[in-house]
Amino acid sequence: MSAKDSPPENRPADEYDLPWKEAIEGAFPEFMAFYFPAAHAGIAWAVGHEFLDKELRRVVRDAASGKKFVDVLVRVTGRDAVARLLYVHVEVQTQRDDAFAWRMFTYHHRLIDRWGPDVASFAVLADDSPGWRPAVYRIEVLGCEHVFRFPTAKLLDHEHRLAELKREANPFALVTAAHLSALRTRRHPARRFAAKRELVRLLYTQGWSRQRVIDLFTIIDWMLALPKPQEQQLWQDIEEIERKADMKYVTSVERLAIERGHKTGVVEGRLEGKLEGKLEALTRLLTRRFGPLPQWVTERTKGASAEQLDIWFDRGLDSTTLTEIFGGH
């Protein structure tokens, strides 16, 4: 490994959970079309869809033993004669877990117990273990057998066509390319810089809306975290990319918002230890999950230490109420 590619002491740690959550919520039909096209074809997308995060947490809150997972539950309408309501449960697993199939089985049956049989569970395997492919859970006791199979999409299966992914119109082709690039360049900042710059450049070649470009940029920026010097160089390159494309999408106002704590700044503020960034990150997370915050939360967080803000932030990722996060008031 060259000195240029050696991982510096302060290289940001990769965090994949939140950017995946953002990506799925921002473009769920495209997510299903890219990874599970057969299921996508069975859904009447024109009717709309609804995310049921709070309902999902109520059903599975004690199944994850405090661990963080990317899981979503979406209510959709089936493309059939009776247009019945369906419930689509999705898990994105970013590291190998030998208990994953059991968790899928457990979640699926808890959801059936709550909403009936019209529940479908899907898994995206975003880990770096080629041979790990859980897709079935089987129970057999005294001749009584239960087999649960669930569709999976393995991101590593797309690695051989990374160049092709960068040309596809579906935004999840680019999200997949970003995640695979993050896995490839974990210990190579120089290569990561080049991969990230290329992905950002491609954002301006697809004819996407301004908001989609900004949303995908924040996801790419989050997945492919860079050390500060490379990050500053990237911003200079982005300004040049936008000048040539005549599209001032990410720079100026968007850059300021990101650096002050919006989406990717959540990670940046936590890593750099900036108290103001931590507070803003926590406030944005809680507002996104629970809506306008009551006065007691504002008073509770004002003047809190960096360590305490980190504790509340981590609780906020999985807790279902503000009381769970702050322990009463």
Q: How far apart are CA 129 and CA 194, in angstroms?
A: 24
Asked if residue 257 has pLDDT above 60, the reply is: no
Q: How far apart are CA 200 and CA 205, in angstroms?
A: 10
Q: Lowest-pLDDT range, 10-19, 128-137, 179-188, 313-322? A: 10-19
pLDDT digits (tens, 9 = 90+) for 287-301: 877 888 888 888 888
Q: How far, in Å, are 8, 47, 83, 193, 283 from residue 15 at the CA level? A: 17, 34, 39, 17, 19
pLDDT digits (tens, 9 = 90+) for 24-52: 999 999 999 999 999 999 999 999 999 99
Q: Lowest-pLDDT range, 19-28, 60-69, 164-173? A: 60-69
Asked if residue 53 has pLDDT above 50, the reply is: yes
Q: Report phi then psi at 57, rounded to 5.
A: -65, -35
Calculate mean pLDDT across residues 60-73.
Answer: 62
253 residue type, one letter = V
Domain limits, the chain: 37-150, 159-326
Q: Residues 6 or more apart from 155 whose CB is under 8 A from it?
A: 124, 125, 126, 176, 179, 180
- Report the pLDDT value the prediction gives residue 265, as an integer from 0 to 100: 46
309 residue type, one letter = L
- Report the pLDDT value the prediction gives residue 328, as an integer from 0 to 100: 60
- Report the pLDDT value the prediction gives residue 320, as an integer from 0 to 100: 79
Which residues are 147's β-sheet partners? Answer: 138
264 residue type, one letter = T
What is the per-residue burial (b if ≥16 Cβ within 10 Å, else e) of 152-191?
A: bbbbbebbeeeeebbeeebbbbbbbbbbbbbbebeebbee
Helix or strand or coil: residue 320?
coil
pLDDT > 90: percent of the chain: 45
Asked if residue 155 has pLDDT above 80, the reply is: yes
- Report the pLDDT value the prediction gives residue 274, as an integer from 0 to 100: 52
- Report the pLDDT value the prediction gives residue 277, as an integer from 0 to 100: 66
- Report the pLDDT value the prediction gives residue 266, as an integer from 0 to 100: 47
- Report the pLDDT value the prediction gives residue 187, as an integer from 0 to 100: 86
**Greater pLDDT, 60 or 279:** 279
- Report the pLDDT value the prediction gives residue 29, as an integer from 0 to 100: 97
Which residues are 145's β-sheet partners? Answer: 140
Asked if residue 54 has pLDDT above 50, the reply is: yes
pLDDT digits (tens, 9 = 90+) for 205-255: 988 988 888 889 988 988 898 888 888 899 889 889 988 888 888 775 455
Q: Are 252 and 239 in contact (CB under 8 A)?
A: no
Q: How many residues are listed for the chain in this entry?
A: 329
Query: Would you place residue 271 in the very low, low, confident or very high pLDDT band (cuts 50, 70, 90)?
Result: very low
- Report the pLDDT value the prediction gives residue 2, as an integer from 0 to 100: 41
Asked if residue 150 has pLDDT above 80, the reply is: yes
DSSP string spanning 100-140? HHHHHHHHHHHHHHHH-S-EEEEEEE-SS-TT----EEEEE
Query: Would you place residue 258 in the very low, low, confident or very high pLDDT band (cuts 50, 70, 90)?
Result: low
Q: Report phi then psi at 247, rounded to 5.
A: -135, 100
Nearest partner of 121 among 83, 75, 87, judged by Cα:
87
| CATH assignment, 37-150 | 3.30.300
Q: Are 41 and 178 in contact (CB under 8 A)?
A: no
For the chain, give the mean pLDDT. 83
